[in-house]
Structure 1
Amino acid sequence: MERIFFLLTVIGVPLSVAGSLLHWPATPMFVVYCVTIIALASYMGRATESLAIVAGPRIGGLLNATFGNAVELIISIFALKAGLVSVVLASLTGSVLGNLLLVAGLSFFVGGLKYKRQSFNVYDARHNSGLLTFAILVAFVIPEVFSMTMNEQKTLSLSIGISMIMIALYLAALYFKLVTHRGVYQHKEDVEEHEEPEWSKGKAMLILALATVAVAYVSESLVHTFEVVAHSFGWSELFIGVIIVAIVGNAAEHASAIIMAYKNKMNVAVEIAIGSTLQIAMFVAPVLVLVSLLFPTHMALVFTLPELVAMVTAVLLTIVLSNDGDTNWFEGATLLGAYMIMGIGFYLL
């Protein structure tokens, strides 16, 4: 797999640069850009993992929080710059649905085929359930309801206030998990064997920096192809955001979670799926609201009704299935079924 990603990077980056400079046709370049970003994301994931092992769990947790959704954040910033607010909101929706239903679903399903019953830290599951309820059912629903009786300026002001509160609470949640209550809610399988980092600290930092720069360049080119691709395939901006951008932006995490579940490391798999959702909802989305203030088109935290209903449904289903700290292949199939139903819905919109 590492060789495949290496080949895709070596071929994809020069092709992406040539394509954007020489203005090659948008549709084939859209595929090239997507594949290149997925390959680069794998290197970002491996570098972050090495740094997390070297720096220890506390700084490692912070690094994962910062770089776990870096690709998604970079693509979204360029989309905001281009004024594609609906694509950004759709990609945030897609990340929430993708992580909770597709990634968790595939992890539970693949792991469940190998092991009849898999367990993970029930205290973490309940803690994450509370944060998911806050992030989606409170912080995303409130602006939608209040915007019905507010003008645009007041809705934006409400979104900015909510964003600041969410970022503060997200940082507090990290502090709670990594500092004040670290190891308090220990699970019998939490103690992992000592791991050796794949790369040294210096090499990992260099690879992370280079991959981030390359992703930023390719992402800007990718955003410029959205309009042509949407027209060519008859896709809506909503479908591109919810399904395509979300899968490309989180590809490395998707693969990692499934591999961990197959190795029966369910704590890590669940942390990737649900932890990543919390990063998107409580950190990435609020940061994008604040970053949009730098551009002519501002973004309020107001989703369309189908996006909001889909996210609320995904959160409720995930909480019901994961709150017992126990999983099997059938629960995975249930989550995957929900993702497919929503995918068909967004495609037909």
Structure 2
Amino acid sequence: MFNRIFMFAIIIGVPLSVIGSIMHWPAVSLFVIYCATIVALAGFMGRATESLAIVAGPRIGGLLNATFGNAVELIISIFALKAGLISVVLASLTGSVLGNLLLVGGLSFFIGGLKYKQQKFNIHDARHNAGLLIFAVVVALVFPEVFSYKLNDAESLTLSVWVSVIMIILYLAALLFKLVTHRGVYVSEHDEEHGEETAEWSKGKALLILALATVAVAYISEKLVHTFTEVGHTLGWSEVFIGVIIVAIVGNAAEHASAIIMAYKNKMNVAVEIAIGSTLQIAMFVAPVLVLVSLFFTHSMSLVFSLPELIAMVLAVFLTITLTSDGDTNWFEGLTLLAAYVIMGVGFYLL
């Protein structure tokens, strides 16, 4: 049913996006059309990456879903940086961390837990991810914030560039560790078997759909960014709320759906890898890449978040680690994560 809805949304949404931007329709109307179309395109990107990942196993499958899911947000953020909307970009990065850990993780645990009383996943991956989460958010993001009080803007940018380069190197090293040097070393008895699954699309068709969807998302994302200011004034939304909630949900729609579906099928290794792996990719790769890309624009971006954004990310990390460190979950733990997301969402709306 959802596949038909997404197809209908793409068939209607893409032409409307082009026509509306040419005819200068009201910003709020365009904002709704752009968001709905991007979500539908992200759904097809998720299906394509799932087809490519059928034979690749939970780690590579989760990595593919997270990567192409984050590609949407990366594209939106680059256009936002070009437009000088640095606060929106930082807020969207915050929203991605909160959305992946609390919303995606929470929905996955909750919906999967309604069907299965207890769901297990690889505890070694959980512990490995916990260490990286603490490094990526508590160390690498808090450090520039603390030092920014004693540094000028140029010095903060220099520190952010160094931190960004180091995080990218460590992220690539983490992939090397999990997928090459220690692949299969930490195997859990609960790791799912994927050998009996059949890919929905062939490799060629999946790659073609990914390419076309990415081009369409890039075009619509550029148009979406230009509606932020007017939509914020019209609806009374701050740039922080637009970034933390709206852009984050729209930009990560593909992996949201994929993680929940995997949890419902009791494939928790994939679901957890999407939710937490996507968070790590945002914090250790997407954010640093945006810092480096911003050096080529008029306004450069430092890794200096607002205090509410930083505190929210740190709390989300520690809550997620506390609930996932034992390698199993249930619907109540999912509900706990969702409750934390709602509390933070209300806070950012009122901010």
Same fold (TM over 0.5): yes
What is the CA distance between 1:110 and its match in structure 2?
1.1
Matched to 2:339, the amino acid is G
Pair 1:246-2:230 in alignment: no
Q: Calculate the aligned-residue CA RMSD, in Å.
A: 1.4
Q: Is the Cα–Cα contact under 8 Å of residues 50 and 199 in structure 1 kept in the other structure?
A: yes
Q: Is the Cα–Cα contact under 8 Å of residues 9 and 36 in structure 2 kept in the other structure?
A: yes
Return closer, same or farther for 1:54/1:23 CA change in 2, 3 Å cut-off.
farther
Of 216, 219, 231 in structure 1, the residue corresponding to residue 218 of structure 2 is 216
Pair 1:117-2:149 in alignment: no
- Write out aligned runs for 1:71-90 (5 A): 71-90=72-91
Return closer, same or farther for 1:316/1:125 CA change in 2, 3 Å cut-off.
same
2:139 match:
138
What is the rounded CA distance, in whole Å, between the counterparts of 1:61 and 1:30 in structure 2? 30
- Write out aligned runs for 1:188-337 (5 A): 188-194=189-195, 195-337=197-339
Query: Unaligned stretches of 5+ in structure 1?
Result: none
State the TM-score, normalizing by the size of structure 2. 0.96
What is the rounded CA distance, in whole Å, between the counterparts of 2:50 and 2:256 in structure 1? 15
Q: Is the Cα–Cα contact under 8 Å of residues 54 and 201 in structure 1 kept in the other structure?
A: no
Specify the SS of the correspondent of 2:54: helix
What is the rounded CA distance, in whole Å, between the counterparts of 1:203 and 1:74 in structure 2? 23
Specify the SS of the correspondent of 1:291: helix
What is the rounded CA distance, in whole Å, between the counterparts of 1:175 and 1:87 in structure 2? 32
- Write out aligned runs for 1:127-166 (5 A): 127-166=128-167
Matched to 2:289, the amino acid is V
What is the CA distance between 1:138 and its match in structure 2?
0.3
What is the rounded CA distance, in whole Å, between the counterparts of 1:272 and 1:63 in structure 2? 9
| 1:98-129 C-alpha deviation (Å, 9 max, x unpaired) | 01011111111111111111111110000000
Matched to 2:94, the amino acid is T
Q: Identify the range of structure 1 (112-121 vs 337-346) with the bigger mean alpha-carbon deviation.
A: 112-121
Q: Identify the range of structure 1 (88-97 vs 197-206) with the bigger mean alpha-carbon deviation.
A: 197-206
What is the CA distance between 1:47 and its match in structure 2?
1.5
2:175 match:
174
What is the rounded CA distance, in whole Å, between the counterparts of 2:39 and 2:261 in structure 1? 16
What is the CA distance between 1:65 and its match in structure 2?
5.2
Q: Percent identity?
A: 77
What is the CA distance between 1:326 and its match in structure 2?
1.2
What is the CA distance between 1:327 and its match in structure 2?
0.8
Q: Is the Cα–Cα contact under 8 Å of residues 62 and 174 in structure 1 kept in the other structure?
A: no
What is the rounded CA distance, in whole Å, between the counterparts of 1:47 and 1:251 in structure 2? 14
Q: Identify the range of structure 1 (191-200 vs 53-62) with the bigger mean alpha-carbon deviation.
A: 53-62
Return closer, same or farther for 1:60/1:107 CA change in 2, 3 Å cut-off.
closer
What is the rounded CA distance, in whole Å, between the counterparts of 2:179 and 2:339 in structure 1? 34
Instruction: Give the aligned length.
Output: 349
